[in-house]
Amino acid sequence: MSNEIRDDLKYTDSHEWIKINDSIATIGITDHAQSELTDIVFAELPEIGKLVKKGDELCVVESVKSVSEIYSPLSGKIVKINEKLEDAPEIINGQPYDDGWLVEIEIEKKDEIDALISGSEYQKLI
Amino acid sequence: MLNYPFLISHDGEIHMSTQSPLHKNHAELKAKFTEFAGFNMPLQFSSIKDEHLQVRKSVGLFDVSHMSNVWITGKDAEKLLTLTTIEDASKIVKNKSQYTAILRDDGTIIDDTIFMHLDDRFMIIPNAGMDEIVTDWLNKKAKEHNLSVKVENVSKDYVILAVQGPKSKELLQKMTDVDLSTIGFFGCKEIVLADQKCIISYTGYTGELGFELQITPVEKAVPLFNKILGIGKEFKIKPIGLGARDTLRLEKCFLLAGNEFEGGRTPLEAVMSWAINWDHEFIGKESLLKQKEEGSYQRLTCLECNEKGIPRHGNEVKKDGKIVGMISSGTISPCLNKGIALAYVDPDERKIGSELDIVIRGKNIKSTIVKSPFVKKDWISTQ
């Protein structure tokens, strides 16, 4: 069981992490989430340019026995997807906070960032 | 002893969940648990993929105590099995077992099972959670036909272990004086294994060389479980969870009762014709003969994905936009690294080599109809 939490990231109670860089948010799933899912074998990512609202289904991550929807923690436009995951979805298991990122969003509503939780708050949930 | 902890699920209802007598061992081995047919069993220990490949390449140990045990004894035991299954039990000699199915009058499958012919009695192994239904059905039929037979549900008295993989025989041979070569495919016998009496059968659910052990009383299974893991070290043995059990069986196109028989399917639909012995009278036979003559029924079909995507139970199967079938079981194959599925498909759309679409989250994923099984016997030699 691994449960690494990084202090420079924001989190959601549904186990996504968010890295804010000006108007761009990089989104992935936490170390705890990948460890619970184990053996990620497929990641279905959205199309670039798609508009999502906070709480919309962003992508789907599948392990051998489970299908997990990942919800968008913020509203905005998908500007980049992690294409490496198409052939090597297991990167999410190995490097959930680095090469295992899922998508980048151009943030539409900056005030939504306030609703995200800190690393120490997320720690209490897991 | 079996425990019956009360579990409160997300819907707020109280459910009973049965733990295996080996639950503590599994917890110590860091298992992740899952609920299956009322049982709390290991889903995986390390990783489903690793456990899967371990069984294909060497040997793995499964606790399958969720499966049921029913003794059928008395002078008409054989007659009852012949009446209630698609096999003529008189053809199955002592120390042999048989894969078969128990049908309703309309020909649909109540359960698929193995029966073992041991001395003058038979043991059947119904699926998880099916013990009472099968026992009641057999008792009812015995009464209706005035048969002198005792049907006894002993599921709670037995632990079932499965030792599966190319090295399984070599491993178990180190634990017994009985020459395991004398137990042929589907053979069964009472033997002593590491000082513990058990019923051993050359059977399994992985498509590999393998054995299943019925152990009573259940406490005796704990030292045996540990001993097999200990002696198995030289083969790098691993405990295997239900996750890999499912992927292993699906690669070999073995049926899973809850999935493949859902909604009532006949052995003709489930492509079990090979297991039907037509030369005897059995419950459901008339309905099967009628269905066979009519011919226009869906049949289980093997689909291999040509695009990325993992088919799952309940996905629709389409041809030129028209629904022609439904996935009963789907997964990613750890050996082939692509999506594979069993689907009930309309009779005219089942040609080997033809393409069908599997609808996954609204997207059409291309697949090809292939011959069973997905992973052939010589797969390991191609690695």
Q: Is B51 on the interface with A (CB under 8 A)?
A: no
> What is the 8-class DSSP label of residue B269?
T
Comparing C-alpha atoms, which of B236, B275, B274, B244 is closest to residue B99? B275
User: What kind of architecture, by CATH, is found in domain A10-125?
Assistant: Beta Barrel (2.40)
Select the residue of B32, B309, B331 nearest A64 (Cβ to Cβ): B331
Q: Is A65 on the interface with B (CB under 8 A)?
A: yes
Residues B6-31 have pLDDT tens digits of 333 334 444 568 999 999 999 999 99
Best of B29, B240, B310 to substitute, by most chain A Cβ atoms within 10 angstroms, is: B310
Report the b/e string of B228-253 with b at 16+ CB within 10 A: beeebeebebbbbbbbbbbbbbbbbb
Mean per-residue pLDDT, B361-372: 97
Instruction: Evaluate whether B366 touches B359 at the Cβ level (below 8 Å).
Output: no
Q: How far is CA A100 from the centre of its chain?
A: 9
Q: Is A67 on the interface with B (CB under 8 A)?
A: yes
Contacts of B249 in chain A (CB under 8 A): none
- Give me the total of CB pairs closer than 8 Å, taking one residue from chain A and one from chain B: 35
Residues B114-153 have pLDDT tens digits of 999 999 999 999 999 999 999 999 999 999 999 999 999 9
Query: What single string gives the DSSP state of each residue in B351-370?
Result: -TT-EEEEEETTEEEEEEEE
Residues B221-270 have pLDDT tens digits of 999 999 999 999 999 999 999 999 999 999 999 999 999 999 999 999 99
State the pLDDT at residue A2: 78
Q: Looking at this predicted complex, what is its ipTM?
A: 0.89
Query: What single string gives the DSSP state of each residue in A34-100?
Result: HHHH-SEEEEEPPPTT-EE-TTSEEEEEEESS-EEEEE-SS-EEEEEE-THHHH-TTHHHH-TTTTT
Residues A59-102 have pLDDT tens digits of 999 999 899 999 999 999 999 999 999 999 999 999 999 999 99
Burial of B321 (0-12, 13-18, 19+ CB in 10 A): exposed
Output the average pLDDT for chain B.
95
State the pLDDT at residue B7: 38
Neighbouring residues of B151: CB distance < 8 A, sequence distance ≥ 6? B70, B71, B72, B80, B135, B138, B139, B142
Contact B310 A38 (CB under 8 A): no
**Within 10 Å of residue A31's Cβ, how many Cβ atoms?**
22
- 3-class state of residue B371 by DSSP: coil
Q: Is B247 on the interface with A (CB under 8 A)?
A: yes
Mean per-residue pLDDT, B186-203: 97
Domain ranges of chain A: 10-125
Domains of chain B plus CATH, in order, are: 6-65+158-250 (3.30.1360.120), 70-156 (3.30.70.1400), 255-373 (2.40.30.110)
Contact B32 A38 (CB under 8 A): yes
